[in-house]
Amino acid sequence: MKQNSRRKPASTLVVGIGSALVDILVRETDEFLAQTGGQKGGMTLVSGADFIDGALAKTTHKASIVPGGSACNTILGIGRLGGNARFIGKRGNDELGALLETALVKNNVEPRLLVSPSPTGRVLSVITPDAQRTMFTFLGASSETKPEEMRAELFAGAALVHIEGYILFNEALILAALKAAKAAGALVSLDLASFTVVEASKAILEDLVADYVDIIIANEDEARAFTGHSDEHKALEVLSKKAGTAVVKVGKRGSHIVHKGEKASIGIMGDGSAVDTTGAGDLWASGFLYGLVNGLSVEKAGRLGAACGYEVCQVVGAQIPDEGWERINKLKVQS
């Protein structure tokens, strides 16, 4: 059975756990992409940083370097909303690792980054003229976090601990993080990450959700993979029985939420147009989780999530510019 939370009502701290990555964004031609060897729109794991460094040496365009990783994106969004935010991950003892840590602080996030002699993980994103984003990922230090490093002090004061689903591939690590979160009296939010993650993790996912997870966030493909139901409303019902609070995001049709028995369907912001959908789910979670820990109704929290998801879709990459945050924060004040 799920352990009872000892969460202190006064706390609004959201702690995120995930891959500490740096996104390197570069606009290039289709010819450049073909020479680099990536499948357009796909993601290729590479075994060393040398591959990415070599590709960057061939580009004629200036690269943009920003923090990355699913949970990191969500926590950065909470920080930009003015929330109380902390991020746990592992970086390298190098220039990119220092850049990542500085960026977290700049965005109102408390960095609790473990350090490895391995290089900081990085993702080269090649954006072609058709706005397609092709990724080459070197996990580096981000993949080296150990279960014994999930110390109690990392979770101290947390109201909510948000975990990215990719950690499900490391069963010992996610179990250590879940136990530490519950020992700190925090609620636990799990983003299922992708349907392939769900399918690969079914053997452990059911028990982990039943025992530890209070909030489960999924898109319709992930919800179908976990529950076996193609009907989004039936899938939502099943998820809410497993975790209490459940979200099923349905793309341009918005999202469906159950929270403490209260149901809400939230539409999208704007006309549904998108320059790039990278980070849309991560930033949706920023608004929604910020709203929940700060006492907003489920409907207002969902609308704040929709606003964050919309704004990140209007730019390339997962970083909302200042003018986007100004619009979001106006909506937040109105809530």
CATH code of 300's domain:
3.40.1190.20
Positions in the chain short of pLDDT 70: 1-10, 335
What's the order of all strands across the beta sheet hosting 262-266? 109-116, 84-92, 13-17, 158-164, 187-191, 215-219, 245-249, 255-259, 262-266
Alpha-carbon dihedral of residues 248, 154, 158, 324, nearest 10 degrees?
-60
Whether 169 is in a domain gets the answer yes
Which residue range forms the structural domain that includes residue 327?
13-20+69-118+143-334
User: pLDDT digits over 107-160, tens only?
Assistant: 999 999 999 999 999 999 888 888 777 889 999 999 999 999 999 999 999 999
Q: Residue 2: inside a domain, yes or no?
A: no
What pLDDT was estimated at residue 226?
96
Q: How far apart are the first and last CA of the chain?
A: 35
Residue 5 has a pLDDT of 45
Spatial distance between the Cα atoms of 305 and 268, rounded to a whole number of angstroms: 9
Evaluate whether 15 touches 155 at the Cβ level (below 8 Å): yes
- Is residue 138 assigned to a domain? no
The predicted-structure confidence for 82-93, as pLDDT tens digits, reads as follows: 999 999 999 999
Cβ-Cβ contacts under 8 Å for 108 (sequence gap 6 or more): 79, 80, 82, 83, 85
Which stretch of DSSP H or E encloses residue 66?
strand 64-68
- 130 part of a folded domain: no
Are residues 91 and 100 in contact, defined by beta-carbon separation less than 8 angstroms? yes
Residue 3: what pLDDT? 54
Decide if 96 contacts 24 (C-beta within 8 A). no
- CB contact at 8 A, 328 and 314: no
User: Which of 215, 272, 270 lies closest to 74, judged by CA?
Assistant: 215
- Six-digit token string for 101: 């840590």
30 located within any domain: no
Kindly state the helix (H) or strand (E) to which residue 215 belongs, with its residue range. strand 215-219
The number of distinct structural domains making up the chain is 1
- Residue pointed to by tokens 């993949």: 143
Asked if residue 124 is part of any domain, the answer here is: no
Q: Are 134 and 126 in contact (CB under 8 A)?
A: yes
Dihedrals phi, psi of 315, to nearest 5 degrees = -135, 165
Burial class, 198, CB count within 10 angstroms (exposed 0-12 / middle 13-18 / buried 19+)? buried
